[in-house]
Structure 1
Amino acid sequence: MDLAQLLTSLDGRGYGDYKRIRGTHTLPLPGNSGDTALEVDRVQVDPFAPPSLMRVRVDRAQTGIPADLLADRAGRIAAGDFLTRSFSRAVSSRLGSGSTSSRRADRDTPPPIVIGSPGQQVLERTSVVFTDAEVEARITVALPAAGRRIKGRRAASLLCEELPQIVADALIAPLDLDALRAHVTLYRDQLDLREQLTARGLVSFVADGALLPRRSGDSDLPLTDGGVPFRSPDVLRTSFDLPSGRSVEGMGVPEGITVIIGGGYHGKSTLLRAIERGVYPHVAGDGREWVLTRPDAVSIRAEDGRSTASVDISPFINDLPSGADTRTFTTTNASGSTSQAANLIEAVEAGASALLIDEDTSATNFMIRDERMRRLIPAHREPITPFVDRVRALHDERGVSTVLVAGGSGAFFDVADHVIALDAYVPDDVTEQARAIAREEAPAGSDGRPHSQAQPHLQAQPHPSAQPLPQPHFAAAPRVPEAGSLRPADKRKFARARGRAAIQYGRDDIDLTAVLQLVDTAQTQAIAHALERLADSLDAHATLTDAVAAIDRMIAEGGLDALSPHTGHPGHLARPRPQEIAAAVNRYRGLRIRG
């Protein structure tokens, strides 16, 4: 019995009988396009459960994709992204709210067939993969029901008529091979430019002509009407020659300490946001496709209420009135300053070579302490050594650069290597003017000279409480999680994403709202699987950094499928950075650190 007959025979039966369709089916494609194999890996247990997992496979020869586009990992990632978007468009065309074939009562719900929803970033995904012989698309299918009864005839139409047409539209020649080649070439060029940044002494690159503003605060799409194209200040202008033969020119953000200033609504945070998202390549037409940032750069902010587990925040906070040991700071409810200190230390622990900070989302007392407050509150009564007094040591000792947006204080002028001012989204290098202001207003040191003369490169006064600290300031011992730390006794189900910003882990929710460079729910689901793998690997000897690095190597060697606990369809996953995996572990309230 073929699949269409089987589904029709199930019409009106209890929903559980859908399990009879598990296995492999051959579906004819429309026209003379040949066949596609449909693998039904898992069938949902009832109409309200997560959708069924299925895979469709076609011969690579049927797609007409040239072999050179799939010859390397970058090409396969970019081609997979292209076909995922093509498949998603074909689903929308056939089953979307504007389609006459749609049977959905609620036009705002997802279509019954889903392959994922790529955004403006190009990410490594599980949605489309390539073998030497085949192209495989992984989909979820919400099998139709009336109450808890099977709608077999509708299911037969969905899987045996509409799905083959979608496969033909999305995967079978004639594909737009020129557009595919352009997509792959752009991605390869972007990766090459990003790899050149460290050798060039740069944290990030923002190309001339880039369109950075977004349509709204809750949209990642470019503002095409009225947006001001970016143009680099001459002193920071640089160019890159790329493998395709293309050259791009724009602003290089150097290593060290870069401060971005300007009036309100003039583009400071917009520029920082583009640099923040530049850890991922973007699609053509996004406006930020030539904004590339080192892949380990981390955005940090204050995060009231988060938990911390034995984080050494002593470079910033000491001598708390409670007597808490800030070398192993542990709390279930961090304040703004302690949370931002923990976020920073954890980012450095996770391998960040650059920190991205916006004063608007920072704790003021963590960032600065002005001269008037220093005079009124004695140093021995203030446990916080502000970031302005540590930012230079962070770079000199650990090689960690900082890109900082400052709109309300010039405190960082003293320590900045570069100051960029934005005026109506147009940048200008004002480093010399900022230094002149800092020299004029610097308070006198103990020798009667301005601090700008007495302490070149570190004009902000170090907090006295920092003096007894062992040198260097940023030399915390690696943290080793306890074995079983990620295995709570009451955990019965696999971890799962709850949207982009949360993971359900046992009875706890891990809140990732402040992890700003996590851009896709499929990444969050991959992190949920990574937590399960970490739970198995923690042995009371491996450091957290090494354990996360091992997971990242596993993905690099075996692909994202290696994360899934299931064979066949692994679910819709996108590759997260090690920094986001570590961020999720650090925010788990059950985390325990040895010692």
Structure 2
Amino acid sequence: MPKTSNDLQTKLHAIHQKGYPAYKELRGTYQFPNYLLYIDHVQGDPFASPSSISVEIPLKTAGFPADYYQKSYTRIALQDYLTRQFEQQVNRYSFRAKGSGKSGLISVTHCGQEILERSACQITKNSIIARFFVGFPANGRRINSIELEKIFFDFLPVCVEKAFFYRNQNTKVVEQVYFLAEDQYFLRKELKRLHLTAFVADASILPRQSGVSDKPLKESIPFFAPDSLAIELTLPHKGTIRGLGIKEGITLIVGGGYHGKSTLLNALESGVYNHIAGDGREYVISDDNGVKLRAEDGRFIKDVDISLFINDLPNKKDTHCFSTCDASGSTSQAAAIVESMEAGSSLFFIDEDTSATNFMVRDSFMQKVIGRSKEPITPFLERARDLYEKAGISTILVAGSSGAFFHIADTIIQMDCYKAIDITASTKVLCKENPLPKTSATEFHQPDSYRIMSTPDFQTKTSRNPHASHADRGLKVKTHDRYTFSIGKETVDLRYVEQLADFEQTSALASMLRFACESLIDNQLTLDEVAKKLISILETKGFSGINSTSYLSCGLAMPRKQEIYACLNRFRRK
């Protein structure tokens, strides 16, 4: 049974000005008038990572219409909205309680432009659970419980009331969150029905403010589809919407420098996620299995069959089971394609600028100088058509220097001063006048995958008991930034996994990899089997299934399966 809020107040008064470790006596559950307060973890001192706190509000008390959270995609959208509302509220009170170090900090997840499932807010069958961090106040290392009392009894009730109670929301805004989620889900279904890889609505704002801000660029030129490629769709709530429908197959985006080629591709890459209203890309929707491919010099590759692209190496190294600790641009891109095929990707995004030139294309003069028998690489140019026709994988490719790609493209879009123009017909006439030399690529085959997911030398058998002491909980993980984390003594580098949208996705990947190392890898499973087990656990148990402690804290966001596979593939192991 939870204790009462009065019990918490009594404890706070009793420990005032004691040594900081006395704060640990507060751990537990307390019943407040409209919610339960959980003190899940107490920081060791005022300068340590802040304490993990959560509140649980009954759905009946919160009062949101049931339709808003009964479907998974509307539930995630509502959770995202509530997290943003809660952040707005707690920001007004953070550090208003005073003290040393992190005293008075109140923080919750800061959401970006994408709508992601997060541990910060979860709607269960009966309640809304919000998780956040609080810096317990102290003077030096002496408890200042009077300031903590302000947080729990003055600040937090106001934040919870304003963020999580329907009666205090702008109901029209909440309704629009629900409507947008339904429209975006409808668009994703329409892509499959109409055999499209992506849709870009007219009047979308594609450019971003800067390299460090993903917000829409003010006063930018809106996107409009050329008439020949435009389609109209009738959404459940927004009604009729017109935009660019990109068909399955090979789509080429061309144009001069700074005319918007990469801007369009970046918007399409990001379209694997839903975006919030006002983002400018909320109706830019791509196949959610789409993956961005690029060269990755120096990356780790383990037992990947890259023979579809690379064969007959001078050192006689077997490319049917290829490994390296320091990949070249071409081998890394070949491996990324095969690994993405294993992950079930049905769409590739490629920018010529970030690709290995020798992997993408070999011009006719080079073929005359260096014959086929002396070149181990079968370029992507010669495989793209087979990837679509035999493996069902479409490609959206940005090219700025090589005209060879015109010959394999089904659709060609020219970006001219941020205006999209369909030049497919006129370019195909030129292609007939300037044919490519015949090539003799080897027969297409589906790459094999029997890779055992082994572990580095640092791995030892560890406890999975969530109630074990911190020292016994196994591998230590730490997320450094949006693209890197450490596990044990190994660093996992995801800087070229460009569709990672959030720091919290990387934190979730770190937790998944730790769980896999501690619970799955010793069973001699293949990498594909490990990935599928992780995905299954997440689908059935959520973040709790991969958590290493008895409580779940704020700070995790759900990655796609493509990023899960990418993380496992880049984990340096034996």
Taking structure 2 as the reference length, the TM-score comes to 0.92
Which of 223, 233, 247 in structure 2 is aligned with 1:230? Answer: 223
1:22 aligns with 2:27: yes
Secondary structure at the counterpart of residue 89 of structure 1: helix
Secondary structure at the counterpart of residue 95 of structure 1: coil
How far apart are residue 186 of structure 1 and its match? 0.4
Matching residue of 1:510: 492
Which of 192, 195, 212 in structure 1 is aligned with 2:186? Answer: 192
Secondary structure at the counterpart of residue 253 of structure 1: strand
The within-5 A match list for 1:25-36 is: 25-27=30-32, 34-36=33-35
Matching residue of 2:482: 500
For residues 453 and 552 of structure 2, the distance between their equivalents in structure 1, rounded to whole angstroms, comes to 32
For residues 19 and 120 of structure 1, the distance between their equivalents in structure 2, rounded to whole angstroms, comes to 37
Matching residue of 1:544: 527
Which deviates more from structure 2 when the two are superposed, residues 384-393 or residues 260-269?
Answer: 384-393
Matching residue of 1:436: 429
1:587 aligns with 2:558: no
Q: Which runs of 5+ in 2 are unaligned?
A: 1-5, 463-473
Contact 1:527/1:581, CA 8 A, preserved across alignment? yes
The within-5 A match list for 1:35-434 is: 35-95=34-94, 101=96, 103=98, 112-172=105-165, 173-225=167-219, 227-244=220-237, 246-434=239-427
How far apart are residue 304 of structure 1 and its match? 0.9
Contact 2:91/2:106, CA 8 A, preserved across alignment? no
For residues 40 and 316 of structure 1, the distance between their equivalents in structure 2, rounded to whole angstroms, comes to 55
Q: 1:271 to 1:111 in 2, by over 3 A?
A: farther
Contact 2:453/2:527, CA 8 A, preserved across alignment? no
Q: 1:198 to 1:147 in 2, by over 3 A?
A: same
Q: 1:312 to 1:132 in 2, by over 3 A?
A: closer
For residues 486 and 3 of structure 1, the distance between their equivalents in structure 2, rounded to whole angstroms, comes to 47
For residues 269 and 182 of structure 2, the distance between their equivalents in structure 1, rounded to whole angstroms, comes to 20
Which deviates more from structure 2 when the two are superposed, residues 137-146 or residues 476-485?
Answer: 476-485
How far apart are residue 377 of structure 1 and its match? 1.9
How far apart are residue 433 of structure 1 and its match? 2.1
Amino acid in the other structure paired with 1:223: L
For residues 348 and 9 of structure 1, the distance between their equivalents in structure 2, rounded to whole angstroms, comes to 61
Contact 2:456/2:572, CA 8 A, preserved across alignment? no
Amino acid in the other structure paired with 1:263: G
Matching residue of 1:4: 9
Matching residue of 2:446: 475
Task: Give per-residue Cα distances to partners, 1:479-526, cap 9 Å, x unaligned.
Answer: 332455697249843434222101211101100100111111111121
Amino acid in the other structure paired with 1:562: G
How far apart are residue 429 of structure 1 and its match? 0.7
Contact 1:413/1:419, CA 8 A, preserved across alignment? yes
How far apart are residue 63 of structure 1 and its match? 2.4
How far apart are residue 396 of structure 1 and its match? 1.6
Contact 2:46/2:103, CA 8 A, preserved across alignment? no
How far apart are residue 219 of structure 1 and its match? 1.2
Secondary structure at the counterpart of residue 268 of structure 2: helix
How far apart are residue 92 of structure 1 and its match? 1.6
How far apart are residue 82 of structure 1 and its match? 0.8
Task: Give per-residue Cα distances to partners, 1:278-303, cap 9 Å, x unaligned.
Answer: 00000000000000011100001111
Contact 2:381/2:408, CA 8 A, preserved across alignment? yes
1:488 aligns with 2:471: no
Task: Give per-residue Cα distances to partners, 1:181-223, cap 9 Å, x unaligned.
Answer: 1102101210121122122111111011111011112210001
How far apart are residue 558 of structure 1 and its match? 2.5
Q: 1:59 to 1:544 in 2, by over 3 A?
A: same
How far apart are residue 102 of structure 1 and its match? 6.2
Matching residue of 2:536: 553
For residues 349 and 35 of structure 1, the distance between their equivalents in structure 2, rounded to whole angstroms, comes to 48
Taking structure 1 as the reference length, the TM-score comes to 0.88
Contact 1:482/1:540, CA 8 A, preserved across alignment? no
Amino acid in the other structure paired with 2:31: T
Amino acid in the other structure paired with 1:441: N
Amino acid in the other structure paired with 1:582: Y
For residues 207 and 351 of structure 2, the distance between their equivalents in structure 1, rounded to whole angstroms, comes to 17
Q: 1:117 to 1:352 in 2, by over 3 A?
A: same
Q: 1:166 to 1:103 in 2, by over 3 A?
A: same
Secondary structure at the counterpart of residue 115 of structure 2: coil
Q: 1:343 to 1:323 in 2, by over 3 A?
A: same
For residues 158 and 244 of structure 1, the distance between their equivalents in structure 2, rounded to whole angstroms, comes to 41
For residues 89 and 328 of structure 2, the distance between their equivalents in structure 1, rounded to whole angstroms, comes to 48
Q: 1:383 to 1:133 in 2, by over 3 A?
A: closer
Matching residue of 1:566: 549
- Aligned-pair identity (%): 40
Matching residue of 2:466: none
How far apart are residue 541 of structure 1 and its match? 5.8
For residues 36 and 375 of structure 1, the distance between their equivalents in structure 2, rounded to whole angstroms, comes to 75
For residues 110 and 301 of structure 1, the distance between their equivalents in structure 2, rounded to whole angstroms, comes to 44
Contact 1:211/1:230, CA 8 A, preserved across alignment? yes
For residues 413 and 297 of structure 2, the distance between their equivalents in structure 1, rounded to whole angstroms, comes to 30
How far apart are residue 93 of structure 1 and its match? 2.4
Matching residue of 1:455: none
Contact 2:46/2:100, CA 8 A, preserved across alignment? no
Which deviates more from structure 2 when the two are superposed, residues 245-254 or residues 77-86?
Answer: 245-254
Q: Which runs of 5+ in 1 are unaligned?
A: 28-33, 446-450, 452-460
Task: Give per-residue Cα distances to partners, 1:392-449, cap 9 Å, x unaligned.
Answer: 1111221111100001111101111111000111101111222222222225x5xxxx
Secondary structure at the counterpart of residue 566 of structure 2: helix
Contact 2:104/2:147, CA 8 A, preserved across alignment? no
For residues 104 and 295 of structure 1, the distance between their equivalents in structure 2, rounded to whole angstroms, comes to 46
For residues 355 and 110 of structure 1, the distance between their equivalents in structure 2, rounded to whole angstroms, comes to 47
Contact 1:55/1:569, CA 8 A, preserved across alignment? no
Contact 2:201/2:241, CA 8 A, preserved across alignment? yes
Secondary structure at the counterpart of residue 215 of structure 1: strand
Contact 1:486/1:531, CA 8 A, preserved across alignment? no
For residues 206 and 187 of structure 1, the distance between their equivalents in structure 2, rounded to whole angstroms, comes to 16
Contact 1:189/1:244, CA 8 A, preserved across alignment? yes
